[in-house]
Amino acid sequence: MEIKFTEENLKKLEEAKSHYPTNDAALMSALWLAQYQFGWLSTDVMKYVGNLLNIPYEHVLGVAEFYTMYNKKPVGKHHLQVCTNVSCMLCGGYDVVDYISNKLYISVGETTPDGKFTLIEAECLGSCGTAPMMQINDYYEENLTKDKIDAILDKLAKSE
């Protein structure tokens, strides 16, 4: 597969560049665009982004490695990020992890064989008042119960 931004993403990148006095500052926006288009940041993707912005690959790698939300390896279509920090832990965050882990037959950090779900433990997601919770890709699912998790996962499993 040729690694190349879509026209739309190139336009978005130009817009991001216009917000800052230097090209470097648009790197984080560029990595976000790349992650949305390619799913994860492979070495080739990072090299491509570096070339676009005229930044050495090593610097791109350094930034991508520093921030946890950039995926440095492929993830499932639905990235289940369960918060287990203090407030969620007190309200059963680890029970949610165990429940999903048992239900999907994967442990933390693994992806289901069909490539649909990846389960990870996340640090505080700023949703302490509605604990326990998880983030699925970009969206929050809050006040989780077993029934609610079942409903969410079943719906996602059926979706294409």
Partner 1 sequence: MSDFQPIILKNITDLHNIEVYMKNGGYSAFKKALKLTPEAIIEEVKKSGLRGRGGACFPTGMKWSFMPQKTDKPKYLCANGDESEPASFKDREIFEKNPHQFIEGTLIACKAMGIKTAYVYIRGEYYPWIVMLQKAIDDAYAKGLIGKNILGSDFSTEIYIHRGAGAYICGEETALLNSIEGKRGMPRFKPPFPANFGLWGCPTTINNIETLANIPPIIDNGGEWFSKIGEPKHAGSLLYGLSGHINKPGIYELPSGTLLTDLIYKYGGGVKDNKAIKMIIPGGSSMPPLTAGEIEGLQMDNEHLKSVNSYIGTGGIVVMNEDTDVVKVIKRITKFYYHESCGQCTPCREGCGWMLRILDRIDKGMGRSEDIELLRDVANNIEGNTICAFGDAAAWPVKWAIKKFMPDFEKKVKESVELPIANKVHSLRLTVQE
User: SS3 of 111, please?
Assistant: strand
User: SS3 of 34, please?
Assistant: helix
Nearer to partner 1, 22 or 102 (CB): 22
Extract the runs of DSSP E, i.e. beta strands, from the chain.
78-83, 117-122, 134-136, 139-141
| CB of 120 closer than 8 Å to CB of 80 | yes
Name the token pair of 12. 């978005």
The residues of the shown chain that bind partner 1, judged by CB under 8 A, are 19-22, 24-29, 31-32, 55, 62-63, 66-70, 84-87, 89-91, 122-131, 135, 138-140
- Say which residues have a Cβ less than 8 Å from residue 157's Cβ, sequence separation at least 6: 116
Q: How far is the CB of 130 from partner 1 (least distance, A)?
A: 7
Nearer to partner 1, 110 or 121 (CB): 121
Q: How far is the CB of 114 from partner 1 (least distance, A)?
A: 25
Q: How far is the CB of 2 from partner 1 (least distance, A)?
A: 25
| CB of 96 closer than 8 Å to CB of 145 | no
Distance from chain centroid for Cα 92? 23
Nearer to partner 1, 84 or 111 (CB): 84
Nearer to partner 1, 58 or 154 (CB): 58
Name the token pair of 80. 């289940």
Q: How far is the CB of 142 from partner 1 (least distance, A)?
A: 11
Q: How far is the CB of 78 from partner 1 (least distance, A)?
A: 15
Nearer to partner 1, 70 or 103 (CB): 70
